[in-house]
Chains A and B, each alone.
Chain A
Amino acid sequence: MAETTDDIDERALIQAAQANPARFVDLYDRCFHRVYAYVIRRTRSREEAEDITSTVFERALVHLPKFEWRGTPFVAWLFRIAANAISDRRQSLARDDHEPASAQDPFEAEDVERRAMIFELVDRLPDLQRQVIELRFVEEKSIREIAAVLNRSEGAVKQLQLRALENLRKDMEGRRG
């Protein structure tokens, strides 16, 4: 398979981080949403997903010097670390009732990509819309509570909520070409 520009960029980022660990955050910025999107579906709570995600990047940082680029995306390596971290946790909690799926499951992969894309696009929404999304879906606040936090009417908050979702849909279609 020919190397795409994206592969070359990613390879350069990996080499830079191997030479200077301070550059690891560039890989983090590039991969965070996909790792989180992968982890969240396999965990039982946001707190657990955050714990696992932290573990993934911490382990990746420690093992980065040993990483060899063989043409597979860097994030696939992170998914493997994530699958192991989840399985470690299950074992330590002695409730091994949730076999982690293989990181290479093609349906799963598409799912993760789509979810990660949405998360990433949320970051790019206009500030107020992004805040509404975070308050509504992450904090799970009611429209009334959000209206109080943002000092806006409930009607205005609902409008912002709808506009945010419509923007996300439009952006997704744009990304897919």
Chain B
Amino acid sequence: MAEALVEKIDRTIDQLLAREDASAALRDPSLAALARIAGELRMCPRLAFRLRLRADLKRRTTMSTVFETVNVREGFTTVTPYLRAEDAGLLDFLVKTFGAVETLNHPAGPGLTHREVRIGDSMLMIGEGGPVAPTMRRPQAFHVFVEDVDAAFERAIAAGGKSLGAVEDRPYGERSGFVEDPFGNYWYIARHLGPTPVPAGYRTLTPYLHPRAAGAYIEFLTRGLGAIEEFRHALPDGRVMHAQLRCGNAVLELGESEGEGMPRSGVFYLYVTDPDALFAQAVAAGATPLGAPADQWYGDRVASVQDPAGITWYIARPA
């Protein structure tokens, strides 16, 4: 009986797909309801189409509005980390460990120097000069991809870094070792275990955020700053072990803050097309306004907010 039904429905489907007369099926009570559903299924949308259109709409509503047409300076991406240090020691550590190159320095106030530093294909800003106010002491964490992770790890230790985890192959597809520099920043030095040392879609340097309540924080980043969540590995209790987001053309990674030195905050310079709009959007999503949008002497129009994780964002339209 069941076998017969299997064949009967298959023949009906063949007829439907060949646009032949399948009306006999509608007169067969065992077949009629299934045949009617089959008739509708011929018009079923392609899953790939539905997902592609969804992704298109998502891209249009997030990136395009604030990021897409922004012209950032050569070498920069949408997101640039800003580190504060008392003296040239941090630059020295980066030069020795990663072969960092200083691309710009100029005075930025009494006793303060603004430096821009390139590591591989990525940029960092450093505010240098002491003393550093406790509120500006915001060590960050970075995922940094190198050719030879063992050698870079050794150089980091020789340059005054402290090991947070020896170099080894990790189950998530990289060989990595973890170092804290003398200024409290964490460097997750890695080589991707794949065809290239840097995984596809990544650059040399990726900020790694360690907020408290990472799940809620991801919600803020997407609503407030227009970031797109690309990957999340969460435990059944909701704790986010690892997540990846795209903010304009930059990648951010984050994980729940656990253990010593956590949570971490930080300071970032964010390039957008419309700082006024994104400032309003970030504040509506729960950020605290620090500075209303204003034109700066160096040409950028800049607003600033502090987000729920304590991170300061300078939201800027480049000159």
Contacts and interface: CB of A to CB of B under 8 A. Distances in A.
Tell whether A pairs with B: yes
Interface of A: 19-25, 28-29, 32-33, 36-37, 40-41, 46, 49-50, 53-54, 57-58, 61, 114-115, 118-119, 122-123, 130, 133-134, 136-138, 140, 143, 158-159, 161-162, 165-166, 168-169, 172
A55 to B, nearest CB: 10
A137 B226 contact: no
B281 A57 contact: no
Report which residue of A22, A25, A33 has the largest number of chain B beta carbons within 10 angstroms of its beta carbon. Answer: A22
Interface string B34-64: 1001101111111101100110111011100
Given A24-B57, A122-B44, A137-B38, 4 more contacts: A25-B54, A28-B57, A143-B10, A169-B33
Contacts of B43: 37, 40-41, 49, 115
B46 A24 contact: no
Interface of B: 5-7, 9-10, 13, 17, 33-34, 37-38, 40-47, 49-50, 53-54, 56-58, 60-62, 65, 222-223, 226, 281, 284-285
A21 B284 CA distance: 13
B223 to A, nearest CB: 6
B245 to A, nearest CB: 12
Contacts of B13: 136-137, 161
28 contacts: A20-B223, A20-B281, A22-B58, A22-B62, A23-B223, A25-B61, A28-B53, A28-B54, A36-B45, A40-B43, A41-B43, A49-B45, A54-B56, A57-B53, A58-B57, A61-B60, A115-B40, A115-B43, A118-B37, A119-B45, A133-B44, A136-B13, A136-B17, A137-B13, A137-B41, A158-B10, A161-B13, A169-B37
Contacts of A136: 13, 17, 41
A159 B37 CA distance: 16
B210 to A, nearest CB: 24
Looking at chain B's contact residues, the main secondary structure is helix
A25 B57 contact: yes
B44 A134 contact: yes
A138 B46 contact: yes
A168 B38 CA distance: 10
